[in-house]
Every structure is written in C-alpha cells, then in structure tokens.
Amino acid sequence: MLVAESIETEILAIVESVIFKSVTPDASLVKSGLVDSMAAVDIALAIEDKFACAIPAPEIAEIMETAKSMAEYVAAHA
C-alpha cells in the first residue's frame, strides 16, 4: 500500500468515527453537510494527534472538503 493510500485510509477512519457514517474518499463532506463546524474541529484535532500535522483554521473548509483532500494535505505537510 502506498503511503498516500495509508494516510487516506486512516483519515477515512477518523472521519467515520466522528460523523458515525461510512464515506468514500471523494465524498463531499463540508458542502454536503456531513461535517459541520464541531465535527471539523474534532477531525482536525484527531489528524493533528495522529499525523503531527495542523490544519490552519482559515483553510479548514477547503482542506476538509473530502477525505482525499485531507490525505493530500497531510502527505504534503506531515
């Protein structure tokens, strides 16, 4: 498994544990309303704990649009 795929799998698990729903890597999370502001904070904190990679508040909605976009961000910044 590639590193990016591993990160994506871990992020999917984090997202699913916060929103209690199964999602795909390309599922729209923020625009669809699956992830609200409170869930976004929980996900961001979990990502920071797991990968030592902070998600800047001004960019949180853009980065958290999909699990795939979060994985790409973490791969580039962790």
**What single DSSP character describes residue 64?**
T
Tell which phi-psi region holds residue 21, choosing left (phi > 0), alpha (psi between -120 and 50) or beta.
beta
Half-sphere exposure for 36 (CA within 13 Å, toward CB): 3
Q: Which two tokens stand for residue 3?
A: 């590193």
Domains of the chain, start order: 3-77 (1.10.1200.10)
pTM beyond cutoff 0.85: yes
Asked if pLDDT for residue 61 goes beyond 50, the answer is yes
Question: pLDDT digits over 18-34, tens only?
Answer: 999 999 999 999 999 99
* Average pLDDT of the chain, as a whole number: 92
DSSP category for residue 7: H
- Other Cβ atoms less than 10 A from the Cβ of 49: the count is 10
